[in-house]
Homo-oligomer: A and B are copies of this chain.
Amino acid sequence: MDTVKQAPRYGSHHYINGAFSNAEPSRTGSVFNPSTGHEIYRTAYGDRAVVDDTVQVAVKAGREWANASQAHRLQVIFRMRELMLHQADKIAEITGLESGKTISDAQGELSRALEAIEFATNAPQITKGEYSRNVGGGIDTFSFRQPVGVVGCIAPFNFPVMVPMMMGTMAIAVGNAVVLKPSERVPGASALLSELWAEAGLSAGVWNMVNGDSEVVNAILEHPGIPAISFVGSTRVGEHIYQHGSKHNKRVAAYTGGKNHMVVLPDADLDAAASAFVSAAYGSSSQRCMAVSLLVCVGDETAQKLRDLVGDHIAQLKVGAYDDPSADFGPLVTQAAKASVESAIERAVAEGGEIVSDGRGITIDGHENGFFAGATFIDKVTTDMQLWQDEIFGPVRGMMRAKNLDEAIRIVNAHEYGNGAVIFTRSGGAAQVFCAEVEAGMLGVNVAVPVPVGHHNFGGLRRSKFGDAHMFGPDAARFYTKLKTVSQRWPQTETAQPAKPSLNFLSNG
Contacts and interface: CB of A to CB of B under 8 A. Distances in A.
Given A81-B78, A246-B247, A426-B428, A490 B446 contact: yes
Interface size on A, as a range, is: 35 or more
A491 interface: yes
Q: Which of A141, A451, A453, A507 has the most CB of B within 10 A?
A: A453
Interface in A372-402: none
Interface stretch (A68-76, A198-206, A350-358): A68-76
A466 B249 contact: yes
A38 interface: no
A64 to B, nearest CB: 13
B139 A498 contact: no
How many identical subunits does the complex contain? 4
Contact of A121 (B111, B122, B137): B122
Interface in A115-158: 115, 118-119, 121-122, 124-146
Given A108-B506, A132-B144, A442 B487 contact: yes
Contacts of A479: 468
B272 A498 contact: yes
Given A135-B455, A453-B487, 13 more contacts: A69-B137, A112-B506, A128-B130, A129-B130, A132-B455, A140-B144, A239-B249, A269-B498, A275-B500, A313-B501, A449-B509, A451-B487, A457-B483
Interface of A: 67-72, 74, 78, 81-82, 102, 104-105, 107-109, 111-112, 115, 118-119, 121-122, 124-146, 228, 239, 242-243, 246-247, 249, 251-252, 268-269, 271-272, 274-276, 278-280, 282-284, 288, 313, 316-317, 328-329, 425-429, 431-433, 435-436, 440-453, 455-459, 461, 463, 466-470, 473-475, 478-479, 482-493, 495, 497-509
